[in-house]
Structure 1
Amino acid sequence: MKKLLYLVGWILLYFPCDAQENNYVRIPAGNYHLGDTVSLDNPKRTVYIESFWISKYELTNADFEKFVRATGYKTLAERYHNAMVFEPGLEEFRWLQDSTAYWRFPNGISRGGIETKMSHPVTCISFRDVLAYCEWAACRLPSFDEWEVAARAGSEGYYFGGVDKENIGDYANIWQGRDHLKADVSDGYLYTAPVGKFKPNPWGLYDIFGNVFEFCAGSLKRDGDRSIAHARGGSWWCSKNSCAAFNTVYIGSVSPNASFSNLGFRTVKNFHDSFGSTTGMKVFDGL
């Protein structure tokens, strides 16, 4: 009986309920190969990463609604009516400013709300809105390096193992059409898809590529003294002919006050901060 109780306590210490219930995946500490030889923003290098927990899924509308209900928070798009949305028929890389758009109506009121899309990733939120959520939820954004380590799942290429530009549609909600002049619903979704609808990467993370760009914490040399936010992973808008940012190397840039209908995020928790003691953590470094 004592051995059984010890085993139960050991499991709770290192695999806490919070980590499972909130769908976090633990990324082991170690040295990882990142970047690419031709990228100025993300040069090829080896980095050491401390262990961290990253959410399996992009944050959903349901998750964000809990935050809003608890705090009464109003996003920048609600306050300044400056969200950018898309509709088929626009030329490549063109977006519309819609004064009615915000997270509850991420493509503007005329295009419908999220009543039946609570499991979709929250969008039309700015980087500053995301930081407010993270402060409330006691979590944070992944760094550039953490995001890339989790996305690659042990691979050293543009994609995680088994994925290339041709079959990425099995793993990501992207734009399948040649251009954006006509609506593309070939994968069942014009805009966002429910999180976890497509295949995960080998470490169990969903929607790493496509669905929505994911805000990350960090800055680039080209930012200079400017306040710039960055996001990774591509989105439902990205196609093989336009953008093609659904890979592990590209780092996008946007104003920290901007709200787009293809921008969202996933969260990170440090093992020390979120899940108690790390005594003996090295035992799990190989998982």
Structure 2
Amino acid sequence: MTRLFLTLLLLAGQCWAAPVGWTEHRRALVINTSKDPAHDRVVSGLVKELHAKGFVVTELGDQPRTDGVAYERWIRSVPTLGVSLVYYLGRLTTEKTADGKRVCYSLQLGGYRELATAQDPDLGRNRKEDKPWLSLDRLSQKLDANTARENMVLIDCLGIDDRAQAKLSPGDLHGGAARLSGGELFTAFYPGKAAFHPSLEAPIVGPVLAETLRANLAQGSPLLPERKEDVYTVRPRFNRPYALQHEAAEVCASPEVLRAGRFAGDQWVDRNGFCFVWVPAATFRMGDAAFADAQPVNVTITKGFWIGKYEVLGRESSLFNSGGQSIGTGPLARVEDKTFNQRRYQFFRPAGIGSIDAATEQLEKWQAYLAKVGLQYEGWTYDYPTEGEWELAARAGGKTTGLPAPVKGLGQYANFADVCLFNDRDPVHYIYAHREANDGYGRALSPIGNYRPNAWGIHDMHGNLAELCSNFYTKELLSGTDPNDQTLPSTRSSRLRISRGGSWCSRPEYLHVAFRNAFTGAGTPHVGMRLVLRQGERVTRSRNEIIARMEAEVKAQNKK
């Protein structure tokens, strides 16, 4: 395929996007089951300070008929790459696991009932629930396995009701409750076992950690409250800090409510923690004269849509079974630093999902399942973006017209073929490396959200993984209203889909906002997925669906 690469276009004469700061979603769940007014005042002070730091705070404890369900929904909707904090003030209850072999410590919340999972049990392997639903063990297990950047659990324990008849001393009971599982959690528990030492007076229970955390938030101190004299504190592996790294992201609605965004770049998080950015309807000039197959045309997108803030992760794609595909993970970064958290790094590497045909059919099954269990968003559908929608989002209202930055500074915005890839001597791709740019990663995918977002706050539209679009590839851009070619010449034919944005092994021109590529294979660590939530029905059709429609049309015609 002939392509016209204009070196001058890549080096000068472009309208570069203005640097945009990162945003992160902050979520706090504050549960206060104490009936002491003095405790209420302290907890209210904590809530006020959390709000001041940009946390979206959910308060529970005074609605015994609904608190348990609200708790479960909150646990499931912690945002990708966000920070979460759970604070509990109240008594705990001991109860045994189903097999009777372990004693767990559970929150005392009313109104709990088992909710349908977001993953259809028939589409993949769900992890069997083997711990009591309100136990600290299950809470830590769920948080430790989510895709938030950091999670913290703080417990101000007012006492323990030993219903499981563990027959332990108060100190041993509190010591057992303090040992939350989950190696990646930041946890603090008051009062710990040390507070019951015979040489000490009985501990005064209350919102001790709440007051400590409130003070730390107000002063900008480390956010892990610790009272060394009487608190048993579990620190996560690799000894990294729990920190608020970026600006707090604002959302237009709760995860239960889906509506059109208020403005371009508005943000929202769904029930599963997927983060989305609003792209309004628009007419724009698509393409660029530098590329033979992308000569400029006028395109109108008639409906605004929500597009993923990040590329889809493997843990997220498991909700719809990744289209039944074997997830391509791509090469791992080689890091000599022994404190580097390889496990968390792998959490945030996007998944190589190369078959639209497979993923689309599974997305449809997932949508049907969500509707069946009452978890769907009425009038909205998860889908791939069309090529026009992808470029509209990448251009961010005209703020990006080519590359997001000059090539030498492109490493701030994208993971591509740079000096790191050259130094890694990848067997093939290093020969394309631009040795004057440095993105920090060589022959490897970078974690999502690792580079500057575009002007609407969308990360990794350029580089890391090339992203598949709904359309079949055409030799020229399609113009007009909502262009989207979903046709085949015959029931025995196949066509190539389109990938956009370039990947970790692409040379700089592939990252141009108008560059198009015909995707030729499914098993690759170079191509991934970015979800959209669109108004109306899914527009992407698998090859099987297109052929079935063609055959139905032929049958209908023959009956006439």
Please report the TM-score for the alignment, with normalisation by the length of structure 2: 0.36
1:135-150 alignment to 2 at 5 Å? 135=364, 136=366, 138-150=381-393
**How far has the Cα of 1:60 moved from its partner?**
0.5
**How far has the Cα of 1:190 moved from its partner?**
2.8
User: Which runs of 5 or more structure 1 residues have no equivalent in the other structure?
Assistant: 1-8, 76-101, 275-287
Please report the TM-score for the alignment, with normalisation by the length of structure 1: 0.67
Out of 219, 224, 229, the residue aligned to residue 472 of structure 2 is 219
Q: Counterparts of 1:246 and 1:142 in 2: how far apart (Å)?
A: 18
Corresponding position: 1:264 with 2:508: no
Q: CA RMSD in A?
A: 3.4
Contact 2:391 2:513 in 1 (8 A): yes
State the one-letter code of the partner of 1:211: N
- What is residue 327 of structure 2 aligned with on the other side? 103
Secondary structure, aligned partner of 1:166 = helix
Q: Counterparts of 1:114 and 1:10 in 2: how far apart (Å)?
A: 32
Q: Counterparts of 1:53 and 1:32 in 2: how far apart (Å)?
A: 18
Corresponding position: 1:46 with 2:298: yes
Q: Counterparts of 2:345 and 2:272 in 1: how far apart (Å)?
A: 26
Secondary structure, aligned partner of 1:129 = helix
- What is residue 254 of structure 1 aligned with on the other side? 519
Relative to 1, partners in 2 of residues 1:55 and 1:186: Cα closer, same or farther, differing over 3 Å? closer
Q: Counterparts of 1:165 and 1:67 in 2: how far apart (Å)?
A: 37
Contact 1:106 1:124 in 2 (8 A): no
In the alignment of these two chains, the number of paired residues is 227
Q: Counterparts of 2:273 and 2:385 in 1: how far apart (Å)?
A: 20
1:1-287 alignment to 2 at 5 Å? 13-14=259-260, 18=270, 21-49=273-301, 50-68=303-321, 74-75=324-325, 102-103=326-327, 106-107=330-331, 117-123=346-352, 125-135=354-364, 136=366, 138-155=381-398, 157-160=401-404, 163-177=405-419, 179=422, 182-183=425-426, 187-222=440-475, 225=489, 226-240=494-508, 244-255=509-520, 258-272=522-536
User: Which runs of 5 or more structure 2 residues have no equivalent in the other structure?
Assistant: 1-251, 262-267, 333-341, 368-380, 431-437, 477-487, 539-560
Secondary structure, aligned partner of 1:237 = coil
Relative to 1, partners in 2 of residues 1:53 and 1:247: Cα closer, same or farther, differing over 3 Å? same
Secondary structure, aligned partner of 1:204 = coil
Q: Counterparts of 1:122 and 1:57 in 2: how far apart (Å)?
A: 11
Q: Counterparts of 1:234 and 1:104 in 2: how far apart (Å)?
A: 16
- What fraction of aligned residue pairs are identical, expressed as a percent? 23
Deviation per CA, 1:239-258, whole angstroms, max 9, x where unpaired?
A: 34xxx301111111123x52
**How far has the Cα of 1:62 moved from its partner?**
1.2
Relative to 1, partners in 2 of residues 1:114 and 1:128: Cα closer, same or farther, differing over 3 Å? farther
**How far has the Cα of 1:151 moved from its partner?**
0.3
Which structure's residues are more often strand, by fraction? Answer: 2
Contact 1:62 1:119 in 2 (8 A): no
Q: Of the two structures, which has the highest relative contact order with CA contacts closer than 8 Å and spacing of 6 or more?
A: 1
Q: Which has the larger radius of gyration?
A: 2
Relative to 1, partners in 2 of residues 1:207 and 1:218: Cα closer, same or farther, differing over 3 Å? same
Deviation per CA, 1:99-138, whole angstroms, max 9, x where unpaired?
A: xxx4265459xxxx98851211101532323323432254
